[in-house]
Amino acid sequence: MKYTPFKYIGAGLTALCVSITAVKATPLPDQISVIVPFAPGGAVDVLTRLLTRQLATETGTNFIVENKPGAGGAIAAAQVARAKPDGRTILMGTTNTHGINTHLNPQLKYDPVKDFTPIADVAENIVILAANANFPAQNLTETIELLRKEPGKYSFGSPGIGSVHQMAMEQFKDKLALDVVHVAYKGAGPAMADTAAGNVQLVMAGIAPAMPFLQDKRIKILGIANPKSDMFSGVKEVANIQYFSDIQPETAAQSWIALFAPAGTDTSIVNQLHGAVQKILTSDSFKKELIPMGMVPNISSRDEFSTKVQENMAFWKKTIQQPATTNQ
Question: How confident is the model over 148-187, as pLDDT tens digits?
Answer: 999 999 999 998 888 899 999 999 999 999 999 999 988 8
CB 124 within 8 Å of CB 299: no
- Report the length, in residues, of the chain: 328
Low-confidence ranges of the chain (pLDDT < 50): 1-9, 13, 15-22, 324-328
Count of alpha carbons within 13 angstroms of residue 229, beta-carbon side: 17
H or E element that contains 222: strand 219-224
CB 99 within 8 Å of CB 41: no
Give the pLDDT score at 40: 84
Q: How far is CA 153 from CA 142, 156, 202, in A?
A: 15, 11, 11
Structural domains of the chain, with CATH: 31-124+255-320 (3.40.190.150), 127-253 (3.40.190.10)
CA distance 262 to 33: 12
Q: Buried b vs exposed e over 89-128: b needs ≥16 C-beta within 10 Å?
A: bbbbbbbbbbbbbbbbeeebebebeebbbbbbbbbbbbbb
Question: How confident is the model over 309-319, as pLDDT tens digits?
Answer: 998 888 888 88
CB 146 within 8 Å of CB 284: no
CB 225 within 8 Å of CB 169: yes
Give the pLDDT score at 218: 96
